[in-house]
């Protein structure tokens, strides 16, 4: 009898310790807690995308399925993001959507997720292929960088061919500058290269005057553009920006110098953010390429629910079993 008692006590203690040491799991059946880690919420496109994600997750709720969302902003620090991921897991999130700060450095996050068996959906900032193979509960949702650049180049070519005034100094070439996103981002270099290729393919003669890196940011782009306007006064005929925020920043630089009308180059962006679309409608931005944030958010919400409930994964069209890429589209009005 005594032996049984001691044994029983030992089991009880063991169970208690196990509960205290293990993470809480408030992910009861019927409730999913989704953690979202964002590289920098002051990024216009990202803040709109996360708005869409909240809506799409809410749309996945149904009788007997409640979804809670917790968003963390790393404000540009990978260390901060690693801590935030840990915190989200400890909080009991059953699935995480991660927009890496440094897309080349996801190992710590992947380890944490694997140790706790929490599936990870990376988005917008794509890890390299080897990292995506570290575990089978890793997914990526994004878009085809090359397609966005090609479309931007085609839009620019169409506008130049249509508008007899685009070659302002009539030298048969289009003098252009590029405003680039962040170094090392899959969308920055590829967008620039493919936009220029598409222009050349359409027979446009180009002369590159300069380029500036502005980290996706409107204010930084305004600065870079001001410098380039100073270097090449009245010579710039075309501005290719890797995103809308930077195209708008470039336009701000001209506005500040009171350049208007025919003194302005043609500007092109990518994203179709709210302000970007407004600028296209009122003709200040010659064109943009729509980065399908609704589609990306929907795919993320579907994967999140499927990964936790174990149902519906077969209805998602993956490439290479774990990637979803949404197509871009051209916007000119």
For ligand BGC, the closer CB: 154 or 237: 154
Site for Ca ion in 295-324 (CB under 5 A): none
* Minimal distance, residue 244 CB to ligand BGC, in Å: 7
Q: Which stretch binds ligand BGC (CB under 6 A): 24-32, 43-51, 129-137, 192-200?
A: 43-51
* Minimal distance, residue 32 CB to ligand BGC, in Å: 26
* Minimal distance, residue 208 CB to ligand BGC, in Å: 22
Counting residues that bind Ca ion (by CB under 5 A) gives: 4
Q: Rule CB under 6 A: is residue 267 a binding residue for ligand BGC? A: no
* Minimal distance, residue 270 CB to Ca ion, in Å: 24
HEC readout, the chain: CHHHHHHHHHHHHHHHHHHHHCCCCCCCCCEEEEEEEECCCCCHHHHHHHHHHHHHHHHHCECCEEEEEEEEECCCCHHHHHHHHHHHHHHCCCEEEECCCCCCCCHHHHHHHHHCCCCEEEECCCCCHHHHCCCCCEEEEEECHHHHHHHHHHHHHHHHHHCCCCCCCCCCCEEEEEEECCCCCHHHHHHHHHHHHHHHHCCCCEEEEEEEECCCCHHHHHHHHHHHHHHCCCCCCEEEECCHHHHHHHHHHHHHCCCCHHHCCEEECCECCHHHHHHHHCCCCCEEEECCHHHHHHHHHHHHHHHHHCCCHHHCCCECCCEEEECCEEECC
Q: Rule CB under 6 A: is residue 270 a binding residue for ligand BGC? A: yes
Cβ-proximal residue to Ca ion, closest one: 167
For Ca ion, the closer CB: 68 or 166: 166
85-104 b/e with 16+ CB inside 10 Å = b? beebbeebbbbbbbbbbbbe
Q: Rule CB under 5 A: is residue 205 a binding residue for Ca ion? A: no
Q: Rule CB under 6 A: is residue 78 a binding residue for ligand BGC? A: no
Q: Which of 81, 243, 288, 302 binds ligand BGC (CB under 6 A)?
A: 243
220/223 Cα distance (integer angstroms): 5
241/192 Cα distance (integer angstroms): 8
Q: Rule CB under 6 A: is residue 43 a binding residue for ligand BGC? A: yes
**Residue 171 binds which entry of Ca ion, ligand BGC, none, with Cβ cut-offs from 5 to 8 Å by kind?**
Ca ion
Residues in Cβ contact with 1 at an 8 Å cutoff, skipping those fewer than 6 apart: none
**Residue 228 binds which entry of ligand BGC, Ca ion, none, with Cβ cut-offs from 5 to 8 Å by kind?**
none
Structure tokens at 219: 């204010």
Contact 115, 89 (CB under 8 A): no
Structure tokens at 178: 């590029």
Site for ligand BGC in 159-218 (CB under 6 A): 185, 187, 216
Q: Which stretch binds Ca ion (CB under 5 A): 8-16, 167-175, 245-253, 322-330?
A: 167-175
**Residue 167 binds which entry of Ca ion, ligand BGC, none, with Cβ cut-offs from 5 to 8 Å by kind?**
Ca ion
Q: Rule CB under 6 A: is residue 124 a binding residue for ligand BGC? A: yes
Q: Which stretch binds ligand BGC (CB under 6 A): 41-49, 220-228, 232-240, 320-328?
A: 41-49
Q: Which stretch binds ligand BGC (CB under 6 A): 15-23, 39-47, 76-84, 275-283?
A: 39-47
Q: Which stretch binds Ca ion (CB under 5 A): 172-180, 244-252, 294-302, 319-327?
A: 172-180
* Minimal distance, residue 193 CB to ligand BGC, in Å: 15
Binding site for ligand BGC (CB under 6 A): 43, 45-46, 124-125, 185, 187, 216, 243, 245, 270-271, 291
Residues within the interface to Ca ion (CB under 5 A): 167, 169, 171, 173
């Amino acid at each position: 009898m005594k032996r049984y008692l001691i044994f029983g006590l030992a089991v009880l203690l063991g169970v208690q310790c196990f509960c205290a040491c293990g993470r809480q799991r408030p992910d009861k059946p019927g409730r999913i807690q989704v953690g979202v880690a964002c590289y920098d919420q002051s990024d216009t496109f990202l803040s709109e995308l996360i708005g869409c994600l909240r809506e799409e997750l809410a749309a996945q709720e149904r009788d007997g399925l409640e979804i809670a969302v917790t968003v963390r902003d790393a404000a540009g620090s990978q260390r901060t993001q690693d801590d935030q991921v840990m915190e989200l897991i400890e909080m009991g999130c059953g699935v995480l959507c991660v927009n890496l700060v440094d897309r080349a450095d996801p190992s710590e996050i992947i380890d944490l997720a694997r140790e706790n068996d929490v599936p990870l959906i990376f988005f917008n900032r794509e890890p390299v292929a080897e990292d995506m193979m570290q575990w089978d509960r890793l997914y990526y949702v994004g878009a085809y960088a090359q397609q966005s650049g090609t479309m931007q180049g085609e839009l620019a070519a169409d506008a130049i061919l249509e508008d007899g005034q685009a070659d302002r100094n009539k030298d048969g070439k289009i003098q252009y500058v590029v405003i680039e996103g962040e170094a090392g981002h899959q969308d920055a270099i590829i967008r620039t290269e493919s936009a220029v290729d598409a222009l050349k393919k359409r027979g446009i003669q180009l002369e590159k005057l300069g380029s500036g890196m502005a980290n996706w940011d409107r204010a930084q782009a305004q600065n870079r553009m001001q410098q380039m306007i100073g270097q090449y006064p009245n010579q710039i005929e075309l501005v290719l920006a890797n995103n809308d925020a930077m195209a708008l920043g470039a336009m701000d630089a001209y506005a500040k110098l009171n350049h208007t009308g025919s003194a302005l180059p043609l500007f092109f962006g990518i994203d179709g953010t709210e302000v970007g679309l407004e600028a296209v409608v009122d003709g200040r931005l010659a064109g943009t390429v729509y980065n399908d944030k609704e589609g990306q958010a929907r795919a993320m919400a579907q994967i999140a629910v499927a990964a936790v409930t174990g149902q519906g994964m077969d209805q998602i069209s993956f490439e290479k079993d774990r990637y979803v890429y949404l197509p871009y589209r051209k916007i000119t009005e």
